Amino acid sequence: MSETVKYFLDEKRIPKFWYNLVADLPTPPPPVLHPGTHQPVGPADLEALFPMSLILQEVSKEREIEIPEPVRTIYRQWRPSPLFRARRLEKALDTPARIYYKYEGVSPAGSHKPNTAVPQAFFNKEAGIKKIATETGAGQWGSSLAFAGALFGIDVQVFMVRVSYDQKPYRRALMETYGARCVASPSNETQAGRDILAKRPNHPGSLGIAISEAVEVAAQRKDTNYALGSVLNHVLLHQTVVGLEAMEQMTMADDSPDILVGCTGGGSNFGGLVFPFLGAQLRGGKKVRVIAVEPAACPSLTRGKFAYDFGDTAHLTPLTKMHTLGSTFTPPGFHSGGLRYHGMAPLVSHVQDLGLIEAVAYHQTTCFAAGVQFARAEGILPAPEANHAIRAAIDEALKCKVEGVSRAILFNLCGHGHFDMQAYMDYTAGKLVDQKLDEGELAMALAGLPSVKA
């Protein structure tokens, strides 16, 4: 038992630059279009919502973008995050596979999300912004931005999807502890919210609706901006600290991944881990198999269309080409709140279209079974979202056993599940059900995609 299980980098090794995959792609991702004119948007079109520094990152083709020193200083609280070799899990599975995981649950909010919340708050502060409006599903993003807002003295208003607001009071309490104001969405505070409540007073809400509300608030005031916790290029860019550190740690382990795995809601923890490895591959390095794992009840990569769509329900956002289930699609209730979004990051969608990654979808009970097996072997209780990545990593390890080959598998353990104990209690009590998505609703949502000339 003296074999190394933990690869810990010195804090001097926190990356000094984020990595931009666009610089190494054979073709650039399709342009973002104005919702009215269907013409490509320019940086000025986004200025009502974001500081120019983030807009320039959003459209950048530079390979490396410098991480400001004040951001690196804050990263130091939990970065570099540890990378573990899951030797006890390997043993439990009796597999020849070498299983590694990068653990992002060590951040103050308990997930990878502060990796982008902190720089987003920093660049907004630099631009003189006083308040940021945002949305949250299960509350991971809301609590991460609330944490970052508290560090920089920025007011944060979070529109939290109604069902989660009612069912997950502890994440809400965390946001309020950090000083943010949390409002159940749909709310009476915006036109988008009032329109929906007029039709259905007890609407359970959705991420698409909460985005509409936050964008509406941000668009109205000069001192108020909007922030998104996933999907956008600059968010995935900030998350590349995960993969850049992991590359160094795999070198310390004297190994290199054959298979990379991440769960995908909007694509940010997945992109953060895999883009630096994909970039190395595109520059002539080792070819890696990359697997995106999504919930079968909200399967944008495996069942969605690669088409232009809105990011929100009220259609206030620009149009982006992405794998989408349609902006009106409401997934059935399941426990991975962070994976309940109708679209996928345009960059992740694009690399799938280029054939650089594959995608699989799993139902939730098999993912919880994997999460429980992981917790019993490794001691860390994973976020329900992360259980999707663990399921796929275990399945690949079991394939290694059947084939009698040893492969190195690295997955992103993107957060802990300490605020998700109700889900684990339901699982243990046998109360979790695998909800099928409504095929009729999916067909309708896809039929309603905006028509955009190619």
Ligand X SMILES: *Cc1c(COP(=O)(O)O)cnc(C)c1O
Which two structure tokens, joined as six digits, stand for 82? 């540890």
Q: Kindly tell me which residue out of 149, 193, 208, 265 binds ligand X, with binding defined by CB under 6 A.
A: 265
Number of residues near ligand X (by CB under 6 A): 20
Residue 64's identity, in one-letter code, is: E
Q: Is 267 a binder of ligand X (CB under 6 A)?
A: yes
Q: What would the x/- binding string for ligand X be over residues 415 to 444, using CB under 6 A? A: x-----------------------------
CA atoms of 338 and 234, how far apart (whole Å): 19
* Footprint (CB under 6 A) of ligand X, residues 120-149: 140-141
Q: Kindly tell me which residue out of 206, 224, 233, 269 binds ligand X, with binding defined by CB under 6 A.
A: 269
CA atoms of 428 and 383, how far apart (whole Å): 15
Q: Is 297 a binder of ligand X (CB under 6 A)?
A: no
Q: How far is the CB of 294 from ligand X (least distance, A)?
A: 9
Given a contact cutoff of 8 angstroms between Cβ atoms, the answer to whether 151 and 177 are in contact is no
How much helix, strand and coil, in percent to the nearest 5, is found in the chain? 45, 15, 40
DSSP secondary structure code for residue 94 in this structure: T
Q: Kindly tell me which residue out of 72, 98, 113, 340 binds ligand X, with binding defined by CB under 6 A.
A: 113
Q: How far is the CB of 263 from ligand X (least distance, A)?
A: 6
Q: Is 119 a binder of ligand X (CB under 6 A)?
A: no
Q: How far is the CB of 128 from ligand X (least distance, A)?
A: 28
Residues in the chain: 454
* Footprint (CB under 6 A) of ligand X, residues 172-211: none
Q: Kindly tell me which residue out of 20, 81, 111, 349 binds ligand X, with binding defined by CB under 6 A.
A: 111
Which two structure tokens, joined as six digits, stand for 371? 């999460």
Continuous H helices in 49-104: 52-59, 69-75, 87-93
Q: Kindly tell me which residue out of 108, 114, 266, 295 binds ligand X, with binding defined by CB under 6 A.
A: 266
Helix (H) or strand (E) holding 261: strand 259-263
Q: What would the x/- binding string for ligand X be over residues 330 to 369, using CB under 6 A? A: --------xx------------------------------
Q: Is 107 a binder of ligand X (CB under 6 A)?
A: no
Among residues 58 and 126, whose Cβ is nearest to ligand X?
A: 58
Q: Is 320 a binder of ligand X (CB under 6 A)?
A: no
Given a contact cutoff of 8 angstroms between Cβ atoms, the answer to whether 385 and 414 are in contact is yes
Among residues 97 and 244, whose Cβ is nearest to ligand X?
A: 244
Continuous H helices in 233-292: 233-252, 268-282
205: buried, middle or exposed (CB in 10 Å: 19+, 13-18, 0-12)? buried
| 38 to 136, 216, 346: CA distances (angstroms) | 28, 20, 17
Residue found by looking up tokens 């070799």 in the block: 85
Q: Is 371 a binder of ligand X (CB under 6 A)?
A: no
Binding positions for ligand X, rule: CB under 6 A: 111, 113, 140-141, 230, 263-270, 338-339, 383, 385-386, 414-415
